[in-house]
Amino acid sequence: MEMTLRWYGSKFDTVTLEQIRQIPGVTGVITTLYDTDPGEVWSRERIRALKDEVEAAGLHISGIESVNVHDAIKTGSADRDKYIDNYIETLENLGKEDIHLVCYNFMPVFDWTRTELARKRPDGSTVLAYTQEAVDALNPEDMFGSIASDMNGTVMPGWEPERMEHIKELFAMYKDIDDEKLFENLKYFLERIMPVCNKYDIYMAIHPDDPAWSVFGLPRIIINKENILRMMHMVDDPHNGVTFCSGSYGTNRENNLPDMIRSLKGRIHFAHVRNLKFHTPTNFEEAAHLSSDGSFDMFEIMKALYDIGFDGPIRPDHGRMIWGEKAMPGYGLYDRALGATYLNGLWEAITKEEKRHEAV
């Protein structure tokens, strides 16, 4: 595996490439062209400029998170082919620039959803948190200006003010879309992009829906073992793969994370590893990465990744806000750096222990 950190680009991120370069064991970044819209073609020139910037800091681009999928593709509307053609062109340009990993999601309307941006923990740190009660109390079509804004000048992905202005239209687009339709549209999209993925050896890694259940009455399908295996089988190509995000699949306490990892051998191309602390099954907060701070056994998660021979990029995920840092909630430097170091420590211990067993 390769340890990486997500980087939001010099225009938006409070964390610099120089800082990332100094986290022990981090050799790559996961990034994207942040000022593009879903459906837009990424030019080779812009991709190259991003690569050059990252490489000048002594790092490299380990993968793209995300190339966002236009709602026309998710809903299967009449103009979807135009947007799929654009997506294919972007993949082609990424391939030509030697980038071989693309994370994306198929969540309707919103990306990941939290209901608190700074819940205070006993140690004074703040974390992102979620309660179902808060979601249920919101009327999705009146949400403009509510929890979408006020994230230190940034917004959660999918909650951008310009999108919120069209929230009613977006909901209307999904009016007739249920789980089955969404699966069908995903299949159609994947079948169309697989040839270019094969040609340039691009691994597509779908990000799970977070939380892993339907919110605001919208369908959500990338939520559990059964559905993700269905997706792997429906387009049975190694380039059709998964971002294994422990914090997203882990929102559903019925998901057995190490077991899911083992069942996805050969299809996990990217891993997001973080911990959650549950108060009730629908009230949780994002803990430090350490097992003892949350509800997951992080050793077992890393061990399962090791056991399936996972060799892709991995990144610590949302961190706590600590030591007075001012940054985008979840994406500060300090706690993610601690997370990377902890995950690297687990990996070193697992690797050495396994090698020792092999030797006897």
Q: Which residues pair with 272 in a beta bridge?
A: 245, 315
Q: Which residues pair with 130 in a beta bridge?
A: 284
Per CB under 6 A, does 220 bind ligand DNO?
no
Contact 312, 268 (CB under 8 A): yes
Closest approach of Cβ 111 to ligand DNO, in Å?
Answer: 5
Closest approach of Cβ 337 to ligand DNO, in Å?
Answer: 17
Options 111, 116, 237, 307; binder of ligand DNO; rule CB under 6 A: 111
For residues 318 and 118, give the distance between their C-alpha atoms in angstroms, rounded to a whole number: 12
Which of 249, 347 has the CB closer to ligand DNO?
249
For residue 137, give the nearest of 116, 166, 159 by alpha carbon.
116
Question: Quick one: DSSP state of residue 154?
Answer: B
| Piece of 70-78, 102-110, 250-258, 287-295 that binds ligand DNO (CB under 6 A) | 102-110
Which of 47, 245 has the CB closer to ligand DNO?
245
Residue 179 CB neighbour total at 10 angstroms: 13
Residues identified as active-site: 207, 245, 272, 317-318, 331
For residue 63, give the nearest of 18, 113, 5 by alpha carbon.
5
Phi and psi of 204, rounded to 5°?
Answer: -85, 135
Here the tokens at position 269 are: 């191309």
Binders in 157-186 for ligand DNO, by CB under 6 A:
157
Which of 239, 272 has the CB closer to ligand DNO?
272
Closest approach of Cβ 356 to ligand DNO, in Å?
Answer: 35
Contact 344, 24 (CB under 8 A): yes
Closest approach of Cβ 31 to ligand DNO, in Å?
Answer: 11
Residue 201 CB neighbour total at 10 angstroms: 12
Which of 125, 248 has the CB closer to ligand DNO?
248
For residues 326 and 323, give the distance between their C-alpha atoms in angstroms, rounded to a whole number: 9
Per CB under 6 A, does 97 bind ligand DNO?
no
| Piece of 97-105, 181-189, 225-233, 292-300 that binds ligand DNO (CB under 6 A) | 97-105
Binders in 29-68 for ligand DNO, by CB under 6 A:
65-66
For residue 229, give the nearest of 244, 214, 250, 218 by alpha carbon.
244
Give the three-state DSSP class for 127: strand
| Piece of 103-111, 113-121, 146-154, 172-180 that binds ligand DNO (CB under 6 A) | 103-111
Rg (CA), the chain: 19
| Piece of 105-113, 169-177, 253-261, 288-296 that binds ligand DNO (CB under 6 A) | 105-113
Per CB under 6 A, does 103 bind ligand DNO?
yes
Question: Quick one: DSSP state of residue 279?
Answer: E
For residues 110 and 115, give the distance between their C-alpha atoms in angstroms, rounded to a whole number: 13
Which of 97, 210 has the CB closer to ligand DNO?
210
Burial label for 15, CB within 10 Å (0-12, 13-18, 19+), is buried
Binders in 194-213 for ligand DNO, by CB under 6 A:
207
Per CB under 6 A, does 95 bind ligand DNO?
no
Q: Could you tell me how many residues of this chain bind ligand DNO (CB under 6 A)?
A: 12
Residues that bind ligand DNO (CB under 6 A): 65-66, 103-105, 111-112, 157, 207, 245, 272, 318
